[in-house]
A and B are shown apart, each in its own frame.
Chain A
């Protein structure tokens, strides 16, 4: 088979000692910047770019791609241990990952995150290898109406993320939409909700809100009691630090779900890994036999979003390598790197540079194995941080939050906003408003408004464009189903209760 021969050739390239070394350097660096909140793969790749001009392009690409997917492995660590999302896509991992850690299953959560990342990352590469060109065509069929429907589908997840009160969840989501709308309006250049402050023109960075609402509010809530307590039990012994068979078995579907959802959303240039992880989490909860346990620390709740986040990498490389279209900040830098090396990603790239394409694909298999081998032994090490007494742990979390926010764009204003969002998060927690819908609204709001307005511009104001296109119509129907599903459940439980009470 052609693919196998090509892949074989790719492995010859990827397994050259020098390329193996660069691959390791890339995934190692990626893990480090992924663990540190605020530091992202985009900035790291840009900083290393000048160094790579002296390297052969294939080696350089293998290393830079290693940073890209390696960072996604690392992102879950602080999310699970400290409730500090290491990068935007790990926000969803906080929901169940941190709760698992609170139950003494920190090691298991980290292990599941690593395994899900490995499986989904590998599936993503397989898919990239096998279906890249046809799938790129599918990605092009997506335009604004489809993106709008995708965002609606994403927002419909709010019913799955809601706690006791759906009204409060919806309100939190609306606040998220409001925050998402701050800054310059792309279409009219009007500045909205900036309070006349030039620092607000680009809107509020997602990381600031996520860290404030998740990490800071957690610290403030824990400070209510003076007793230190043993906040997070860390069981001894290697066995307790790794996921059990039962936990892994519970994640079977989540591994698959994360892999597929992540890859498909990755192919779309206008979506992104945060949306992928939200949708994968929602899907997992929707089909689960025990949806009510989500958010209390179920392993599937870690596996699905972490898988989606990693498989998204393979997906995002599809439009980049086959069309020369970057879908995210990181892939945009990779594109810039290609151009500086004199390579031109695009429809002809796989034909013109087979060594580079197949070498990269093969190196991603190798890199994923390296990441698993690198990350599993680190788990017991990382879990040790939870052994710190809480009076030491909390200042560290506050410090990491500050540094994480500051590194996003070296702005002190962002630190002030962090304090504000920490307060918001604490108040929401005290008043029983769920925080995940706020983040959901924040992630989707901007893209959703944009897609809606683009659609209506395309159709000259005719709303029919949203339902007359098959892909968007299908997704809108799914969203409606998702919205009415809990009503059925509620109705069912009423009925059961009514029957029991009558009987």
Chain B
């Protein structure tokens, strides 16, 4: 029960976001032909799922807003923060792929997760980073001959 009210609030927020997405879909769909000379146009289908999305999400918002909140709600914001931090670093890593190549990026990502997120010693973190990059090199580049994104140094 502890997280119930947060979920309710989450439903209101996510419902509102989805309703906005639905409105966006409808507004885009209105720019395309609804029905053309050959039959239903590109706007036909998006119009309908856009409308369905708005209706359903508003329904979700209303139902969860009306439902009484349960006391003692608590969100593990720290946990969510940790997850979002990992996500942000992962996103940064994908952005660095072009510059550094996959193996370097993977080593950095491993270093971060092992060293920072799990607080292991620098020695372990470095070994894990090097091992992971080496493993990917052996499996994908060498054994399977998959083309990986490479950096300026050729790896």
Establish whether A and B are touching in the complex (CB under 8 Å): yes
Q: Does B147 contact A (CB under 8 A)?
A: yes
Task: Judge whether A431 and B14 touch: CB under 8 Å.
Answer: yes
Task: Judge whether B46 and A430 touch: CB under 8 Å.
Answer: no
Bound Cα distance A396, B118 (Å) = 15
Task: List the B side residues contacting A407 at CB < 8 Å.
Answer: 146-147
List the B residue with the shortest CB-CB distance to A457: B39
Task: Judge whether A395 and B128 touch: CB under 8 Å.
Answer: yes
Chain B, 108-131, CB within 8 A of any chain A CB: 109-110, 113-114, 117-120, 128
How far does the Cβ of A72 sit from chain B's closest Cβ, in whole Å?
Answer: 18
Q: Does B74 contact A (CB under 8 A)?
A: no
Task: List the B side residues contacting A432 at CB < 8 Å.
Answer: 7, 10
Task: Judge whether B40 and A452 touch: CB under 8 Å.
Answer: yes
Task: Judge whether A178 and B49 touch: CB under 8 Å.
Answer: yes
Q: Does A399 contact B (CB under 8 A)?
A: yes
Chain A, 373-430, CB within 8 A of any chain B CB: 391-392, 394-396, 398-399, 402-403, 406-407, 410, 412, 415-416, 418-420, 422-423, 426-427, 430
Number of residues from A at the complex interface, CB < 8 A: 61
Bound Cα distance A168, B18 (Å) = 10
Number of residues from B at the complex interface, CB < 8 A: 63
Chain B, 6-61, CB within 8 A of any chain A CB: 7, 10-11, 14, 18, 21-22, 25, 28, 32-33, 35-36, 38-42, 44-46, 49, 52-53, 56-57, 59-60
A171-B18, A177-B49 given; A456·B94 CB < 8 A: no
Chain A, 226-272, CB within 8 A of any chain B CB: 226, 228
Q: Which of B38, B87, B106, B140 contacts A422 (CB 8 A)?
A: B87
Task: Judge whether B148 and A403 touch: CB under 8 Å.
Answer: yes
Q: Which of B14, B59, B106 contacts A399 (CB 8 A)?
A: B106
Chain A, 184-209, CB within 8 A of any chain B CB: 185, 187-188, 190, 192-193
How far does the Cβ of B59 sit from chain A's closest Cβ, in whole Å?
Answer: 6
Q: Binary interface profile of A, 151-171, with partner B (CB < 8 Å = 1, else 0)?
A: 000000000000001011011
Task: Judge whether B53 and A403 touch: CB under 8 Å.
Answer: no
Task: Judge whether A188 and B36 touch: CB under 8 Å.
Answer: yes
Bound Cα distance A426, B85 (Å) = 12
Bound Cα distance A460, B40 (Å) = 10
A395-B106, A431-B7 given; A192·B32 CB < 8 A: yes
Q: Does A8 contact B (CB under 8 A)?
A: no
Bound Cα distance A175, B59 (Å) = 16
Task: Judge whether B97 and A412 touch: CB under 8 Å.
Answer: yes
Q: Which of B46, B57, B94, B109 contacts A178 (CB 8 A)?
A: B46
Q: Does A464 contact B (CB under 8 A)?
A: no
Of A219, A419, A432, which is in contact with the most chain B CB atoms at under 10 Å from its CB?
Answer: A419
Q: Which of B42, B94, B119, B140 contacts A226 (CB 8 A)?
A: B119
Q: Which of B80, B135, B147 contacts A224 (CB 8 A)?
A: B80
Q: Does B138 contact A (CB under 8 A)?
A: no
List the B residue with the shortest CB-CB distance to A395: B110
A39-B146, A395-B109, A426-B87 given; A175·B18 CB < 8 A: yes
Q: Which of B56, B94, B149 contacts A170 (CB 8 A)?
A: B56
Q: Does A211 contact B (CB under 8 A)?
A: no
Q: Which of A219, A392, A403, A410 contacts B140 (CB 8 A)?
A: A403
Bound Cα distance A221, B80 (Å) = 8
Q: Does A348 contact B (CB under 8 A)?
A: no
How far does the Cβ of B76 sit from chain A's closest Cβ, in whole Å?
Answer: 7
Bound Cα distance A328, B141 (Å) = 28
Q: Does B91 contact A (CB under 8 A)?
A: yes
Task: Judge whether B18 and A398 touch: CB under 8 Å.
Answer: no
Q: Does B2 contact A (CB under 8 A)?
A: no
Task: List the A side residues contacting B10 at CB < 8 Å.
Answer: 430-432
Of B59, B83, B95, B97, which is in contact with the most chain A CB atoms at under 10 Å from its CB?
Answer: B83
Task: List the B side residues contacting A420 at CB < 8 Å.
Answer: 91
Task: Judge whether A168 and B60 touch: CB under 8 Å.
Answer: yes
Q: Which of A167, A221, A422 contacts B90 (CB 8 A)?
A: A422
Task: List the B side residues contacting A185 at CB < 8 Å.
Answer: 32, 42
Bound Cα distance A39, B91 (Å) = 23
Task: Judge whether B56 and A167 touch: CB under 8 Å.
Answer: yes
Task: Judge whether B83 and A181 touch: CB under 8 Å.
Answer: no
Bound Cα distance A42, B76 (Å) = 44
Of B32, B52, B87, which is in contact with the most chain A CB atoms at under 10 Å from its CB?
Answer: B87
Bound Cα distance A226, B83 (Å) = 10
Task: List the A side residues contacting B83 at CB < 8 Å.
Answer: 220-221, 223-224, 426
4 more contacts with CB within 8 A, not counting A178-B53, A219-B86, A402-B102, are A220-B83, A399-B106, A406-B149, A412-B97
Going nearest first, the 8 A-B pairs with the smallest beta carbon separation are: A224-B79, A457-B39, A395-B110, A419-B91, A391-B118, A185-B42, A449-B45, A220-B83
| Sampled A-B contacts (17; CB under 8 Å) | A36-B144, A174-B53, A177-B45, A178-B21, A190-B32, A192-B28, A192-B32, A223-B86, A391-B128, A403-B102, A403-B140, A407-B147, A419-B91, A419-B94, A430-B10, A432-B10, A453-B44
